[in-house]
Structures are given as C-alpha cells and as structure tokens.
Structure 1
C-alpha cells in the first residue's frame, strides 16, 4: 500500500489536538495540507507536520491534486455538505460525527459515495479500539450468557462556555448529537442489533438543544438505557449485563484522555478477569483502518452503520 496524503478542512481544536497528530504518526499516512483563513491557526499543526501546505479556503484544498483523502472536523451542520463536495472533488472523505443532521442527509451521502467509487465514512473512532472489539467478541460469543441489560453514560459540563458550538441549535448542537452517537452506537456495534422501539425519553432542553437526555430503548431480549449530559461532572462507562456475567468498560469513549482503557469481566461465581490497553490510540487506528478501507478492506462502521445510529437520534429528537 502506498502513502495516503491527507488534507484537513478547518483548524478545529479537535483536529489540532487529536486527529492531526494521529494522521501525522499513522502508518502509510502523511498530513500534507490544511485549509484555514487564519495562518496563525496553522502554526500548531506545523509542529507535527512541518511541511504542511496551508490553503486559505476549503475549495482550494479540495482542488489540490496532491491530496488523496480529506478529514472534516467542521461544525455539525457543515459535515454532510462538505463531505459531498469532497467526493465531487475526487477525494476520499473521513467526516466527523454526526456525519449528517438526519437520515436523509446520510442517504444522500451514501448515494454519492456509491456513484463516485470513493470511500467515505464517519470518524466514529471507538469501534477501532480493541476494547470495543473485545466487548463485541464477548457478547457475541455468549461469554455473558443471555444479554438482559446494557447501560451507557457519557457526561461533561460546559455550562460556563455559553458560546460553545454545542449550544447552537442552528449548527446542530446538543448532547445527543455530540456524545449520544457513542452511547447509542456502541450498543449497536457490540450486539449487531437495531432497537425495536424507544421506550422512553426525558430530554432537558436549553435554547433548542438537549443538555441532558435519558433514553431507554428495547432491543431483542434486552433493554438499553443511555444517559448523556452537558451539565454533569465528566463521567463515562458502559455495562453489558448478561445472565452469566457482566462486562464493563471503565473508559469507553475517550481513553488516554479520561483514563486507561480497561474491560472488567465479572462472572456469576464472583471471579473476574481484567483486560487493559494502556497505549492503544483509537484515532491512529481509525486513520489506518480508513486507509485499508480505501483499498477495499471491510470497515468497522460504514455509512450504513452511521445511518442506524442517526435513525435512533431522529426518533429521539423528533
């Protein structure tokens, strides 16, 4: 496999802190270009990509013939339109979650992906982490016995940051679109199931966005409760509770930032097994998996997977 040359649309904080450095160190990847109208914002990127070319606007980057793949960390409402433009420019695209604002936007992107013959996917990094792959293997191999309950929590507190884009309804803000994709999509990835119905939802809204959400869904044989909040102390966990054993991830969504990735398996006799991944970086693993998918390898979360999570979100937010 040859080198994949990457460009980034916008000098977002997340791209600066996580995905830019991941592209820079990933195998067979090279970060060659950044689009930003503010040259000062490019300076931190030059620390890990010294030869990066800085384009002053997004279209100029898409027209750059030296780029094979584009990463899009723009505000939520800009994800799908710029992903479409990237495919139209003949480049593969990895777009931040949520990849669309609703299912119909994702359907449009799937059609564009298929027509272009190029690879396009959501930057849903957790499925590339070995802790989630291990959980999926445990649940699907019946190591927990019959699954009866799944519980996921993801919270942070950004009430002091009034100008945060997550507080903007126009730009697709809210806790569910930001972190609900993880609590809802995680259970779909592990079980391979879609929900039968949303049993209950309690949303606390401020300025048109959800700041706190408790959602209960019925799956085949088990229920799933998801708590997401932008108004609670930072916390995260995911529990898969079977009749023979329970398995839990203590840092399911952002290991290396919130803590060490660990899976604890507790059996009915009280004995337990612990699995640890102290250094796995799911952003790097995601870049490498995306590049292999560009060559035709199966991808852990194609756009069809992202569509399923969005269908849940549409149902909850309608």
Structure 2
C-alpha cells in the first residue's frame, strides 16, 4: 500500500486504528474515544501477552488480537497506531511505524531520552506521517479557555504561573510507575503534562530548570513519587510545578498571574473534563463558563484531521520532545543541585527540517 493512500485519497470512509499495548489508559479512555469517532474503527489490539490482549479486545469489542508488531504494520486496513506500551518501547514502535507509513498517536513521555524523542520526531517528519503526543489536556475546554484568556490580554503580560498535578496513585497502578527506575516516576508521567499545559497556555517555552524530587510514600528503589520545580520561560515568566503520586487530598490547578489579573484553573489536571476557571481582577473573582468535552475524543479528532487535512494535531511530536526535554532538565537539576538549561527544541527541529 502506498504510504498514507487510504486516508489521503479517501478510499476508506474511516480510519483504521490499532492499539499497541493493552494498557489501562487505552482501555478506560482512548479506546472508547476512537470508537466514539464516526470516522474511526478499531481494527486490532496488539499485546505480547495474548490472554491480556484477548481480554482487552472483548472489553472494547475489537475483532482482531495480534501478538507481534509486524502483523499490525503489514495490515493494509490499519492507518494509525495508538502507542500505549511501556515507556521503554515508545521509540521502537514509533520508528517501526514510520518505516511502514503508519501514523502514530503516542503516549507520553515520547521517549526515555531526548535523543530517542528527537529521533522519533525526525523519522516521522522524513516519512511524511503524522506523529502526535497524547497530551490530552490540550483538548480540555478549561485549558483552551485559559489559553484564550492569556492570548486576549485578559491578565496583561503574564509574570508567573503554577501547575499542580498531584493525586494518589491507585494501588493497581503502583507497579512499574513506582518501582521501575528506568521508566517510572512522576517526572515521566506527570511533570511532562504540567510542562505541556504551561507551554500551551502561555505560548512560551522553558529555558532553565531547577528541581527537587523525592520518594516520599509509595516510590520504591529511588523512583520519585513527587517532584517540585521552577521553570524560567523565554518570555521571562517564572513557573512553579508540583507533581505527585502520594497525595489523596491535593487539588490540581493551573494558574497564570499577570500585570492586570490572574487566572485560576481549579481541578482541571485530569483525564475527565472536570474543573472550573476563574478570572480575578480588582479583587473580584469571576467564573468563566466552559462546556465540558471529552478530552480524548478531541485529541483523536484533531489527530485524524491532521492526517486528512494537513492541520495540526492537539500536540505534535515536537511538543512531546519539548515536555520531555524540560522534565529531563528538572531531573538533572534534582540530581546535581544546579540550575540546568532546557535544550532549545525549536532549534533542534529547525536544524532537522
């Protein structure tokens, strides 16, 4: 099959999807979002554990279960992959998909190292396929409203921001996330979301990082279950970030504080379309109305539009490189006790073009 032919020429009315990795997030959210899209169909799920794949397929009504990636890549009815494997396999699967001409929506973090993530973005660019990062909160009505308020000058020039993404990780998820020092921890899991939310809301990029991390409650073997950091952005703004798995009573938040006002997003860092947005000016707090939308359905729709129309997915592969670059800089700062420069991903991307 010619690369991208089925979707770009309209031979298929729907996009054929394969889910790579029978994960909890795929089962609870993304699989349902794909099924809800009238222009999408779930062709297969791939899991190296056949029994796990079969249970996943039964739950989502998927007809085909594969245990080898090659079978998916050779399937002409599959146009796009949702990569939801362990973090350590994101690069391997995405590079193989690029070589096979399959579009990719990849879970965060895009890779385990900056080199991996850059290589993934470059390979997909060269292959002419769409690579998107599943930073699903970009599709939230609350986040989009905060971005609109910032861009419209509702608070004047932004001076400071806060992103708080703390929760108590359910016991059934306290596996590799809290035990595997290679791919676990909140920096890979939650910090990347906070970084992306700030980049999206502010329209600015981080340039310096200072951080600390700890295994406070459920992290084992040196795997951090909380991290706190400060980022300086190229606009001059300073942002505070806090992520954690150990907090059953912590509220999530995204805030922007400017010369003429402040924006408060409360309870909005989530998989579900929760939370509220407030604008505070002259000591008056006003709730800004938003219409809840399914974050993953919005992400899937934007991804498919990017394939069909050449538009921008909610978060590109290079957006995933940015969030990982900042999280890795925070980790380096936490381990060395020094301020660390965040690599200029825009320059890396331009040099690769």
Cα 1:224–1:114 shift into 2, 3 Å:
same
Alignment of 1:127-142 (within 5 A): 127-142=138-153
Q: Deviations over 1:189-217 (max 9, x none)?
A: 1111112322x322114413221111012
Give 3-state SS (helix, strand or coil) of 1:121's partner.
strand
Alignment of 1:157-236 (within 5 A): 157-158=168-169, 164-198=175-209, 200-205=210-215, 206-219=220-233, 220-233=235-248, 235-236=251-252
- Confirm or deny: 8 A CA contact 2:166 2:246 kept in the other structure: yes
Give 3-state SS (helix, strand or coil) of 1:284's partner.
helix
Which of 23, 33, 36 matches 1:25? 36
Q: Distance in 2 between matches of 1:79 and 1:7?
A: 15
Q: Distance in 2 between matches of 1:235 and 1:96?
A: 24
Which of 46, 71, 92 matches 2:58? 46
Task: Compare 148-157 and 264-273 and name the one that shifted more.
Answer: 264-273
Cα 1:160–1:261 shift into 2, 3 Å:
closer
Task: Compare 22-31 and 212-221 and name the one that shifted more.
Answer: 212-221
Deviation for aligned residue 1:57:
2.6
Structure 2, unaligned stretches of length 5 or more?
1-9, 333-353
Alignment of 1:50-69 (within 5 A): 52-69=63-80
Give the alignment's TM-score, normalised by structure 1.
0.91
Which of 67, 78, 97 matches 2:108? 97
Give the alignment's TM-score, normalised by structure 2.
0.82
- Confirm or deny: 8 A CA contact 1:169 1:209 kept in the other structure: yes
2:91 match? 80
Cα 1:273–1:47 shift into 2, 3 Å:
same
- Confirm or deny: 8 A CA contact 1:261 1:276 kept in the other structure: no
1:250 match? 266
- Confirm or deny: 8 A CA contact 1:159 1:231 kept in the other structure: no
2:254 match? 238
Which of 1, 9, 12 matches 2:20? 9
Cα 1:282–1:158 shift into 2, 3 Å:
closer
Structure 1, unaligned stretches of length 5 or more?
none
Task: Compare 159-168 and 225-234 and name the one that shifted more.
Answer: 159-168
2:156 match? 145
RMSD: 2.1
Q: Distance in 2 between matches of 1:88 and 1:168?
A: 33
Task: Compare 158-167 and 125-134 and name the one that shifted more.
Answer: 158-167
Deviation for aligned residue 1:159:
8.5
Cα 1:307–1:47 shift into 2, 3 Å:
closer
Task: Compare 51-60 and 147-156 and name the one that shifted more.
Answer: 51-60
Cα 1:158–1:300 shift into 2, 3 Å:
closer
Q: Deviations over 1:253-275 (max 9, x none)?
A: 2253xx72321122224151322
Which of 324, 328, 341 matches 1:314? 328
Give 3-state SS (helix, strand or coil) of 1:157's partner.
coil
Deviation for aligned residue 1:38:
2.4
Q: Distance in 2 between matches of 1:228 and 1:117?
A: 35
* Number of residue-to-residue matches in the alignment: 313
Deviation for aligned residue 1:125:
0.8
Q: Distance in 1 between matches of 2:15 and 2:56?
A: 22
